[in-house]
Every structure is written in C-alpha cells, then in structure tokens.
Amino acid sequence: MWLRNPFLRLSRNGTDDLQISVDKFNGNPRSEENPINTGFYYIMSNNKTISLFDAWYAQKDNSTGKKEQDVLSDLMKAGIFGKLGLRVRFLDTKYFSGFCENSKDIWAVSTVHANCYRHIMAKLRDLKVVLRDWKQFKAALNKNSSVAVNETMNFRWTAHTECLKSWTYK
C-alpha cells in the first residue's frame, strides 16, 4: 500500500541497478544479509538486470513450491548479485515498511507491504486496519498543528493479527 510517493526515497543517481524492500533492515543498505522482500523493487533496465530476471524466472520455473521471493533470495545467497556486477540498495523499513518490521516513523513511511499471509482475505483485513490507522493519522494533521503533533507523537500501528491466524485455518 502506498501512503506517500516512494520514488522520492529512491536513489536516482543512476548507480543502483536494483533497489529492493526488505523484511527487516539491518542498517546497511549494501548488506546482502538484509532479508529481501519483493513487495517493492525498482530496477534500472540494463544488461545486468535483464540477466538477473532471466536467471530468476528460469530458476522460479524449476523451484516447485517456492515463492518467487524465496527464489530470488536463494539466488542472492548463491552470489548472483556479485557475479552479475549488480549494485543493489536494500531499502530501509523506516520508509518501505512491511508487516515483519513496521516503520516506527509515521512521518516518513512511504509504503507498507503485507507479506507472509497464507490467504488474501487475511491480508486484506490487515491492510484495511493499516488504512484506518493512516486515515486517523491524517485526520490528526488536519487539526490545529500543535494538537496534531501531540496526537501523532505516540502513534503506533495496530497489530497485524490476521497474518498468524491465516496459517491456522484452511
């Protein structure tokens, strides 16, 4: 879910081939130890990224039972980014949030990705809660500015309860 324009948070200097969201950000935007999340990624089209997608989709077709995110993660762990000479930037969850690690900064978050769900209905229920939280935050901003700041200082996302539940029912 896009809350703000995420392109404002991306590197646009032309040196990054792939910018990708992560489940948990370890503080280093170049570390392949960040667990990738394919909910949001930005690609510079070039021979290196085309080769990455060719390898990714070829591997995906031979990886029965694996999600495409898991296949790309396996390729990353096998060193494909280095082999292709890709410059990869792993995106901070402060700006590119997911349900594995919520952004703690409502003033900065651009996107929220609902990952790890087994069923689409559970995902939709929790995303509706995120939207409700976002609307409450925006409504507070429309009040007197000093009141808005005070009301949002203690902002917390509502718990994403449907994710775990989605794994307990068929």
- Residue 148: is its pLDDT beyond 80? no
pLDDT of residue 161: 75
pLDDT of residue 55: 97
Residue listed under structure tokens 């409700």: 132
pLDDT of residue 38: 92
CB distance 133 to 109 below 8 Å? no
pLDDT of residue 45: 96
Q: What is the pTM of this model?
A: 0.87
pLDDT of residue 36: 95
pLDDT of residue 117: 74
Residue 10 burial (C-beta neighbours within 10 Å; 0-12, 13-18, 19+): middle
